[in-house]
Amino acid sequence: MARSSNFELLRIIAMSMILIHHFLQHGLLNVVSPKTFNTLMPWVLDGVNIFFLISGWFGIRYEARGAFKIIWILLIFGAINLIALYIADPTINLFSYLVHLCLWPVSSRYWFMAVYFFLILCAPIINGGIRSLSDSRFRIMMIFFTLAKVYMCGTIINHTWSSGYTFMQGFYMYCLGCWLKRDYAWFGKLSRSYYLIIFIAASLINVFLRYAGINRELVFSYSSILQIAGAASLALWVSKMRFQSKTINFISAGALGCYLLQDGTFGHNYLYSRIHDYAISHSAFDLILLLGVLFVGFWIISLIISNITDRGFIRFWNMLSNSKIYKRLLYFRF
């Protein structure tokens, strides 16, 4: 089946948001002024929600192959992070980092990948439950689910959501993606420009609330209803596009790798601190130039590594699927 280039474009937008978000949050938090930080952040905080939503729109089909591929990708990119960190700082406790790498997802910094991995494992249950509901019952369930989320995240701090770094957040966004597609006859009534206006409005309201001194957890978090509305509106915006582009499809293949390269061991233990130091000692122009180079570099390097990783996994899986072990793995297919 041909890939939908409009949603591949959305993947690129979402990953670009995540890259900028991490530069701001981990590298520049105490460097740029609070005014600049609070103005920029709402516009780039939707990325993770968008990825979960896209998964729900298309649905996750649980296969042993998919679960193994995630583990394969995490080990490859984790090893690359570790090599890069060791080259930058040979004094690190290499054995400790190797243990953490091998214990994924228990010890991983990649919370998003851990949540997504368990979404794959739960996909038969989630998809089966959604399919068993009629359109009207599913709609009612999602309305109550959303109302509960607004109450728990918009009026109180509740550890069930914990700023959105949870399986519950991924589960909700997955269900929301299913709902948007299933009820598209209703959600897709507006013209494309209106969805972009909704995203802009949600982001501006978020900026205003932050300036008004509203509790940060309720405003700048993945579980904020404003961020969810922004993610949903962008998804509906691109759903109105109809085009095919080999270039877009090619670039989007590097989206996941960008996240794994930037936000891994190397990023948190070396890169972000260097960005912080560079921002203090250099001009704003030099900083923007550095971040631009890193941004483009992550995409280019990710595309190269992702291509090699995919080819290696195909060979590994072909070898495994032709072995006796694969007969046991068939049990995990749904």
**Is 252 contained in some domain?**
yes
Does pLDDT of 334 surpass 70?
Answer: no
CB-CB contact of 257 with 77 (8 Å): yes
Cα separation, 139 vs 157, in Å, equals: 26
Residue 219 lies in a domain: yes
For the cut 90, the answer to whether the pLDDT of residue 303 exceeds it is: yes
State how far the Cα of 112 lies from the Cα of 16, in Å rounded to an integer.
16
What is the spatial distance between Cα 275 and Cα 293, in angstroms, rounded to a whole number? Answer: 12
pLDDT at res. 92: 84
Tokens describing residue 61: 């089909």
Does residue 151 register a pLDDT over 70? yes
In the numeric block, the tokens 């966004």 are attached to: 173
Express as a percent the part of the chain with pLDDT over 90.
54
**Please, are residues 251 and 299 in contact by the beta-carbon 8 Å criterion?**
yes
Helix 255-262 × helix 64-88 angle, to 10°: 40
What token pair was written down for 243?
Answer: 């085009």
CA 332 to each of CA 62, 63, 124, 321, 322: distance values in angstroms, whole numbers, following the listed order: 8, 7, 11, 13, 16
Global pTM reads 0.91
Residue-wise burial string across 242-279, b where 16 or more C-beta atoms lie within 10 A, e elsewhere: eeeeeebbebbbbbbbbbbbbbbbbbbbbbbeebeebb
Establish whether the linkage from the previous residue to 105 is cis, with ω within 30° of 0: yes
The DSSP output letter for 106 is T
Question: Residue 70 in contact with residue 259, Cβ under 8 Å?
Answer: no
Determine the pLDDT at residue 107.
Answer: 55
Residues in the chain: 334
Find where tokens 């770094």 sit.
Answer: 165
Domain extent for 204: 5-13+21-311
pLDDT class of 166 with cuts at 50, 70, 90: confident
**318: in domain:** no
- Tens of pLDDT, residue by residue over 250-302, are 999 999 999 999 988 899 999 999 999 999 999 999 999 999 999 999 999 99
Residue 80 lies in a domain: yes
Tally of domains within the chain: 1
Residue 306 burial (10 A CB sphere; 0-12, 13-18, 19+):
buried
Residues 220 and 243: their CA atoms lie apart, in Å, by 34
| pLDDT(333) > 50 | no
pLDDT at 313 over 70: yes
Average pLDDT, the chain: 87
Predicted confidence (pLDDT) per residue in 34-56, tens digit: 888 889 999 999 999 999 999 99
Spatial neighbors of 322 by CB under 8 A, at least 6 apart, are none
At residue 210, the pLDDT reads 84
| Least confident interval from 96-100, 119-123, 183-187, 238-242 | 96-100
- Of the candidates 234, 243, 244, the one whose C-alpha atom is nearest the C-alpha of residue 53 is 234
Q: Is residue 325 included in any domain, yes or no?
A: no
Q: Could you tell me if residue 317 is inside a domain?
A: no
Judge whether 331 lies within some domain.
no
Which has the higher per-residue pLDDT, 30 or 305?
A: 305
Three-state SS string across 295-329, please? Answer: HHHHHHHHHHHHHHHHHHHHHHHHHHHCCHHHHHH
Asked if residue 65 belongs to a domain, the reply is yes
